[in-house]
Amino acid sequence: MAYTLDRTYEERIRRFSSQRYGLYLAIVSMLMLFAALTSAYIVRRSAGNWLEFELPSIFYINTVVIVLSSITLHTSWHLFKKGNKAGYRLLMVLTFILGITFLVMQYMGWQEMTAQGLYLQVNPSASFIYVISGIHAAHLIGGLGTLIVAMAHAFRLRFKVTEIRKHRFELVIIYWHFVDLLWLYLLVFFVFI
């Protein structure tokens, strides 16, 4: 009987490790995608016919929103581990709202660019901003999907701090923090390169 329990525990540990490995592999592939895009940006910029313009100011405000979303999600994680069900749920919902707010503000930033005459096809500089920030927004939508699943667990399952639930929540946090840090990198890249 003890052998079966140990074997099941080992299988769960192995599954956790493979899920985490898969997430890290996906993150590395996303990093390669954005490294390629930002490298192409640098190469194309040096080729000439490049229109210089300032990023919409809403992109900076958006940065505060996404950083706040990481803070609320991480705090939710700590409240979950402490057994504070109400705080954990509330901050998870707030994180979701902040994620949606980021997307809405991103769209508003794109609208601000078009109001300045910076359309997708006008100049490569504007095109790169639209494409790179759009791909980031798509990854954020993926993060919102994982948050929806995490919120379903938070509100539908009986509240219990287990290793499986902690592991699932950790995966959501790792991905969300990655998307957050990726945006910070992109903003710094666009401003200083």
Categorize the per-residue pLDDT at 17 as very low, low, confident or very high, splitting at 50, 70 and 90. Answer: confident
CB atoms within 10 A of CB 17: 11
Q: Which of 151, 149, 144, 126 is nearest to 180 (CA)?
A: 144
Q: How far apart are CA 160 and CA 170, in angstroms?
A: 15
Is pLDDT above 90 for 2?
no
Task: To the nearest 10°, report the CA torsion of 85, 166, 34, 143.
Answer: -40
DSSP per residue, 35-47 = HHHHHHHHHHHHT
Is pLDDT above 60 for 153?
yes
> Tell me, what amino acid is at 117?
G
What pLDDT is stored for residue 15 in this prediction?
67
- Tens of pLDDT, residue by residue over 161-193, are 888 889 899 999 999 999 999 999 999 999 988
Q: How far apart are CA 69 and CA 15, in angstroms?
A: 28
Question: Average pLDDT, stretch 145-160?
Answer: 93
Gyration radius from the chain CA atoms: 20
Categorize the per-residue pLDDT at 5 as very low, low, confident or very high, splitting at 50, 70 and 90. Answer: very low
121 with 127: CB under 8 angstroms?
yes
- Tens of pLDDT, residue by residue over 122-137, are 788 999 999 999 999 9
What pLDDT is stored for residue 12 in this prediction?
64
Domain 2-46+56-192: give its CATH code.
1.20.120.80
State the DSSP code for 8: H
What pLDDT is stored for residue 9 in this prediction?
61
Averaged pLDDT of the chain: 91
What pLDDT is stored for residue 178 in this prediction?
97
Question: Average pLDDT, stretch 68-97?
Answer: 97
pTM: 0.88
Angstrom distances, CA of residue 36 to CA of 29, 140, 160, 176: 11, 19, 43, 21
